[in-house]
């Protein structure tokens, strides 16, 4: 066991507590990663608020990057000293979903309360989302990591673990965008900006961003949106149709968890178009549709978890795009915070003004 510091959630909706906790050594097929950076995702905040239930106490955090400091038996292809990103995608590689090329929906059940974390007195401590990365170190399965260049900024690299692959992957993998198609992206936050980038990379003709403020729409244009529409309009889909030359979108990417956004999404679609559901409302929230319209116009709705990525395939591709200057990562970072100020960073993220706040650890130094 190794003693580390972590931000622990002991009560839903309460501030996280910085505590000393115990981390087990890596077991079969596992690696220990000493973290340099971990971004704050809205999913972490929702979990800590109790939006989807779960076991407490827990350590959240799942967008991380660092250096391997130990490996368990059977680990292949990586070694101590390798720089990696850590993801929440823990794929068994054997179930029907994994075998079918969709490891993000691996069907093998896991008990994250039986993971490598325990409280200082030996009590159960959930390694939330199989990561628990609001901590100085993590122990995860080797399938959850991807090597990155040693010289790559860890603060930029950690964004690839969730927000970037979710947004870019939703456009490229889930929506299957082709050059010349038109796209509406609802929400210009961290995931939305990456959905916009994904649409641009896929060759979309016009990309319409929809958000609540002009400031967010201006940022969306910096990331590749060709037009911006205020969600506060009486009928924002009419403005989007106008921006698209009088036709609806081939794909609408819903990157926020707001129910009004989900209920309005089909109105943006062209005949034959698809609404891709990415943002996650709280458990129990329901949206209403008129299904006869979707049926009559041949439209569809599909859920996209983590951009339907295969991390060993897609993250190296995205790193290459970043190195070429075709994928923005550094520009997504709003601010860097030490672990001790994580509650301030979370409060800032809740305002909606931040693209991504990143927790950097003491050892990160100039690398972050």
Domains in the chain with CATH codes? 2-161+328-367 (3.90.180.10), 167-305 (3.40.50.720)
pTM of the model: 0.94
CB 307 within 8 Å of CB 167: yes
**Which residues, 6+ apart, have CB-to-CB distance to 145 below 8 Å?**
31, 33, 68, 78, 84, 85, 86, 87
**pLDDT recorded at residue 363:** 61
| Whole-Å CA distances, 35 to 23, 45, 68, 101 | 13, 20, 9, 29
* Strand pairing category for 269-277 and 300-303: parallel
Altogether, the residues listed in the chain come to a count of 368
Q: Which residue has 């796209």 as its token pair?
A: 183
Phi, psi of 347 (to 5 degrees): -60, -40
**pLDDT recorded at residue 45:** 95
**pLDDT recorded at residue 352:** 83
- DSSP, res 9: B
Sheet with strand 227-230: strands edge to edge: 227-230, 206-211, 182-186, 249-254, 269-277, 300-303
**pLDDT recorded at residue 222:** 97
**pLDDT recorded at residue 110:** 87
Cross-strand bridge partners of residue 277:
254, 303
Positions in the chain short of pLDDT 70: 363-368
CA distance 19 to 58: 12
Cross-strand bridge partners of residue 21:
4
**pLDDT recorded at residue 368:** 46
**pLDDT recorded at residue 367:** 41
CA distance 39 to 84: 15
Instruction: Indicate the SS3 state at residue 337.
Output: strand
**pLDDT recorded at residue 362:** 78
């Amino acid at each position: 066991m190794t003693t580390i510091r972590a931000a622990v959630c002991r009560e839903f909706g309460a501030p996280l507590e910085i505590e000393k906790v115990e981390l087990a050594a890596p077991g079969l097929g596992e690696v220990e990663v000493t973290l340099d950076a971990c971004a704050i995702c809205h999913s972490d905040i929702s979990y800590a608020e109790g939006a989807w239930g779960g076991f407490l106490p827990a350590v959240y955090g799942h967008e991380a990057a660092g250096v391997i400091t130990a490996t368990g038996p059977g680990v292949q292809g990586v070694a101590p000293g390798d720089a990696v990103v850590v993801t929440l995608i823990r794929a068994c590689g054997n179930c029907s979903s994994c075998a079918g090329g969709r490891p993000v929906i691996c069907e093998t059940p896991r008990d994250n309360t039986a993971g490598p974390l325990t409280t200082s007195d030996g009590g159960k401590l959930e390694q939330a989302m199989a990561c628990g990365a609001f901590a100085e170190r993590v122990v995860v399965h080797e399938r959850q990591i991807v090597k990155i260049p040693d010289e790559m900024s860890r603060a930029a690299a950690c964004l690839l673990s969730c927000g970037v692959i979710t947004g870019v992957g939703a456009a490229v993998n889930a929506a299957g965008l082709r050059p010349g198609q038109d796209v509406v992206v609802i929400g210009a936050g961290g995931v939305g900006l990456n959905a916009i980038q994904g649409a641009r990379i896929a060759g979309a003709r016009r990309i319409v961003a929809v958000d609540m403020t002009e400031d967010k729409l201006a940022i969306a244009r910096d990331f590749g949106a060709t037009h911006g529409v205020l969600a506060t309009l009486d009928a924002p889909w009419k403005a989007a149709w106008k921006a698209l030359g009088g036709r609806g979108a081939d794909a609408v990417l819903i990157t926020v968890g707001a129910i009004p956004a989900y209920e309005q999404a089909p109105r943006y679609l062209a005949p034959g178009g698809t609404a891709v559901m990415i943002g996650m409302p709280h458990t129990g929230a329901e949206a209403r549709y008129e299904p006869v319209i979707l049926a009559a116009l041949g439209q569809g709705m599909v859920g996209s978890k983590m951009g339907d990525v295969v991390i060993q395939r897609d993250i190296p591709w995205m790193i290459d795009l970043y190195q070429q200057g075709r994928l923005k990562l550094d520009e997504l970072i709003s601010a860097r915070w030490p672990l001790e100020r994580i509650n301030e960073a979370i409060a800032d993220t809740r305002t909606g003004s931040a693209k991504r706040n990143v927790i950097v650890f003491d050892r990160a130094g100039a690398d972050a």
